[in-house]
Amino acid sequence: MNFLPSRFCRPAHRLGLSLPLLVLAACVPLQTLQPHTPHALQLSLPAQWSSTPVEATNTAVQGQWWRQFADVMLDELIEQALHSAHDLRTAQVRLQQARAALDLAEAGLWPSIGTSVGATRARSGHASPQTQYSAGFDASWEPSIFGGLRDGVSAAEFDLAASQATLGNAQVSLAAEVALNYVSLRSLQQRLQIARSNLAAQEDTWQLVSWRQQAGLASELELTQATANLASTRAGIPGLEASIAAAMHRLALLTGQMPSSLQPRLSPVRALPTTQAIVGIPIPADTLNQRPDVRAAQLALSAELARLDQRRAETWPSLRLSGSLGWRAASTSALGSGANVAASLAASLATTLFDGGRIRARIAAQDASAEQALISYEKTILTALEDVENALAEQAAAQTRLQARRQAATAATRAAELARQMYRSGMVDFQRTLDAERTRLSAEDGAATAQAEELNALIRLYKALGGGWQMDSADVFTSSNPAEAGEAQQAL
């Protein structure tokens, strides 16, 4: 897998002081890099993931992965966020800025043509003043004979593509963030229902203890314990209600709305989304190709290398062509006369003989910038691999934990019911009932939390795999030079 566009695999003497080895190595598939190149991108991708028993495939991750949750409300929130979120709008503005920078760089490839008109009134000696009128065209052009201007356009093209990938990365993160907060909201609502259900059961228990205490069958200690247990459960409810309100406010912010705007739509309690686990996971190489942050880092490196070539082109002579076509006459009506026409054409070739080392310093600085981009690219690849491995391990653990929590909740609910019945019959003391009720609340709350954690693990896995964005290459390269635009697109 080639992570560096082939147009930048150039002879070593063109690529700076410390970059030759790393660039040549980056032009080779990662799996075949040799460790003897100290500045090279020395990574060997694994064939499979280590944290999943499922065999990896070359199947791409579903773009709109959230639709498999079959939750219309979640779909609407994510779609609204992708159109209105402030972070996404900021990335879109940066993309527009990159497009303008590309247009500016391309404009330097074309001649500059201007026009001028004027009038001059002058007196010579004792003669009467005379007026001379002039009109004409001026043109100048600097052909990029050594590639400096073309390299600048290439750098701008890669900057634009990197901005597009950065926008895609923002889309991936935003979709996952909305889904995580939505799951958190539904989980909190479910936990609030559990707390209220347990509160109702504990109120029944308190009433039973109160009757028994009045009949002399229970002690004041038992009534006090029942009162304390009831108050403790009731005290936990306001915290859940506050967390629910905060989750709604967060979703409103993510979708670009006022904090309380979503409350009417989200207040009705709904069950957590359900979905089947992912069956096939893309292999590591395909995952890296799909991750927008990896793509952005790759394109940023390509842009820095293009700028390095642009700096090195400054060591070569520059050619400049200029010309003019004009007319001079004593009246405006005579300006178009062929007898008054004047034309000129000039060419100049300039080179720098001594500049105190400025060009060499700029090349060295850009060389360092390119090496920093390579280091950042390598780190992004390793971070992407780590994200997927962690997400796979988290998903496996979450599934196992959910099964155990559900079993514990079922057993604890049954135990609490039996303890209450046995206490009513006088077969066990109140402490057994008290412990059973506390265990039930904890177990049911834990099961609801584990279900949300399992969904969150799946969402984070989709995010780690780069799901949730689509790259439209037609929107990336809008060069006025079809040959260069096609070459750049093909290189990517």
Q: Tell me what pLDDT residue 318 has.
A: 76
- Name every residue whose Cβ is closer than 8 Å to that of residue 110 and which is 6 or more positions away in sequence: 141
What is the sign of the dihedral through the CA atoms of 351, 354, 356 and 361? Answer: positive
In this predicted structure, the answer to whether residue 259 has a pLDDT above a threshold of 60 is yes
Rounded to whole angstroms, the Cα distance separating 303 from 218 reads: 81
Residue 404 CA from chain centroid, whole number: 35
Of the candidates 170, 159, 114, the one whose C-alpha atom is nearest the C-alpha of residue 479 is: 159
Domain ranges across the chain: 6-110+147-315+361-491
Please say whether the beta carbons of 190 and 448 come within 8 A: yes
**Residue 319 β-bridge partners:** 349
Question: Which range among 39-43, 208-212, 316-320 has the greatest average pLDDT?
Answer: 208-212
Under the banding of pLDDT at 50, 70 and 90, the label for residue 1 is very low
- Name every residue whose Cβ is closer than 8 Å to that of residue 17 and which is 6 or more positions away in sequence: 363, 364, 367
Between 238-242, 379-383, 384-388, 465-469, the lowest mean confidence (pLDDT) is in 465-469
Rounded to whole angstroms, the Cα distance separating 238 from 14 reads: 67
- How does 238-262 read in b/e, with b if 16+ C-beta sit within 10 Å? eebeebbbebbbbbbbbbbeeeeeb
Under the banding of pLDDT at 50, 70 and 90, the label for residue 252 is very high
Q: Tell me what pLDDT residue 195 has.
A: 92
Q: What tokens does 124 get?
A: 């010579």
In this predicted structure, the answer to whether residue 340 has a pLDDT above a threshold of 80 is no
Residues 6-110+147-315+361-491, CATH architecture:
Up-down Bundle (1.20)
Sheet holding 112-122, edge to edge: 112-122, 130-141, 318-329, 341-350
Q: What tokens does 140 get?
A: 């100048």
Pairing of strands 112-122, 318-329: unpaired
What is residue 118's three-state secondary structure? strand
- Distance from first CA to last CA of the chain, Å, rounded? 12
| Choice between 119 and 23, residue whose per-residue pLDDT is larger | 119
CA-angle at 328, arms to 325 and 329, nearest 5°: 150
Q: Tell me what pLDDT residue 404 has.
A: 94
Please say whether the beta carbons of 223 and 213 come within 8 A: yes
In this predicted structure, the answer to whether residue 286 has a pLDDT above a threshold of 90 is no
Rounded to whole angstroms, the Cα distance separating 476 from 31 reads: 29
| Choice between 489 and 210, residue whose per-residue pLDDT is larger | 210
In this predicted structure, the answer to whether residue 283 has a pLDDT above a threshold of 70 is yes
Percentage with pLDDT > 90 across the chain: 33
Q: What digits encode the pLDDT tens for the residues 418-470? A: 988 888 888 888 888 888 888 999 999 999 999 999 999 999 998 998 887 76
How many other C-beta atoms lie within 10 A of the C-beta of residue 156?
Answer: 23
How many other C-beta atoms lie within 10 A of the C-beta of residue 378?
Answer: 19
DSSP state at residue 475: G
Q: What digits encode the pLDDT tens for the residues 67-110? A: 888 899 999 999 999 888 887 888 888 888 888 888 878 777 77
In this predicted structure, the answer to whether residue 386 has a pLDDT above a threshold of 90 is yes
Q: What tokens does 295 get?
A: 């793509």
Q: What tokens does 397 get?
A: 């653990």
Under the banding of pLDDT at 50, 70 and 90, the label for residue 4 is very low
pTM passes above 0.95 = no
Residue 77 CA from chain centroid, whole number: 18
Helix (H) or strand (E) holding 166: helix 148-214
Rounded to whole angstroms, the Cα distance separating 172 from 464 reads: 9
In this predicted structure, the answer to whether residue 234 has a pLDDT above a threshold of 90 is yes
CA-angle at 178, arms to 177 and 179, nearest 5°: 90
Please say whether the beta carbons of 186 and 73 come within 8 A: no
Mean per-residue pLDDT for 185-198? 93
Q: Tell me what pLDDT residue 61 has.
A: 60
Mean per-residue pLDDT for 22-26? 34
Q: Tell me what pLDDT residue 69 has.
A: 87
- On the CB side of 23, CA atoms within 13 Å amount to 28
